[in-house]
Structure 1
Amino acid sequence: MWFWLALAIAAEVTATISLRLSEGFTKLLPSALVVVGYVVAFGALSQALVRGMPVGVAYGVWSAIGVALVALIGAAFLGESLTWVQIGGIGLVIAGVLALELGRTAPHG
């Protein structure tokens, strides 16, 4: 199930970056990557869920890693800014997802 979630994340990040590169859907290749990427992302996410991953964990991991990767790619390759406050926010989102995952396996008392 983790393979499917990783595929969903990669496809969603590809689609989101392609959305930026499509310039309002005026460029064909990035526009096609947006559509294909989101279809693959949701299809792969559904496969992770079918295989037993809890929806809260799947969506949390998917969104947190997606946000972090899109922000980092934007800063590294698209000339977008990334401040220390934004980096801290990304860290908090990732920490929240880790808490969600760790809480799932914690003993109930």
Structure 2
Amino acid sequence: MWGWLALAIGAEVTATMSLKASQGFSRLLPSLLTVAGYGLAFWSLAQALTRGMALGMAYGVWAAAGVAIVAVLGVLFLGESLTWVQVGGIVLIIGGVLALELGGSVAHA
């Protein structure tokens, strides 16, 4: 399950970075990578769900990891800025996903 989710995250991040490079779908290779990446991301996410991963957990991890990774890659490779307020927002997103996971694993007596 987790391998499929990791593939979904990697494909989504690749597609998102390619979307920026496609310049509004005016460049062929980045445009094709965008479409293929998003297709692979959703297919891989569906595979994780089919194999028993809870929807809320899968989507939460997928979205949070995607946001965090794309933000960092934007800073490293695209010259984008990342303020402490934005870092705090990313931390809150990740904390929210952890709360979903930890709250769901509590045994009810």
State the AA in 1 paired with 2:97.
Answer: V
1:37-81 C-alpha deviation (Å, 9 max, x unpaired): 000000000000000001000000000000000000001100111
State the AA in 2 paired with 1:17.
Answer: M
What is the distance in 1 between the residues matched to 2:98 and 2:29?
A: 35
In structure 2, the partner of 1:22 is: 22
> How many pairs were matched up?
109
State TM-score, norm by structure 1: 0.98
RMSD: 0.7
Stretches of structure 1 that go unaligned for 5 or more consecutive residues are none
In structure 2, the partner of 1:2 is: 2
1:38 aligns with 2:38: yes
1:68 aligns with 2:68: yes
Deviation at 1:103, TM superposition (A): 1.2
What is the distance in 1 between the residues matched to 2:14 and 2:102?
A: 28
Q: Percent identity?
A: 67
What is the distance in 2 between the residues matched to 1:95 and 1:24?
A: 33
In structure 2, the partner of 1:82 is: 82
Deviation at 1:24, TM superposition (A): 0.6
In structure 2, the partner of 1:100 is: 100
State TM-score, norm by structure 2: 0.98
Moved over 3 A (4+): none
What is the distance in 1 between the residues matched to 2:21 and 2:104?
A: 38
What is the distance in 1 between the residues matched to 2:104 and 2:48?
A: 16
In structure 1, the partner of 2:55 is: 55
| Structure 1 counterpart SS, 2:87 | helix
What is the distance in 1 between the residues matched to 2:108 and 2:45?
A: 28
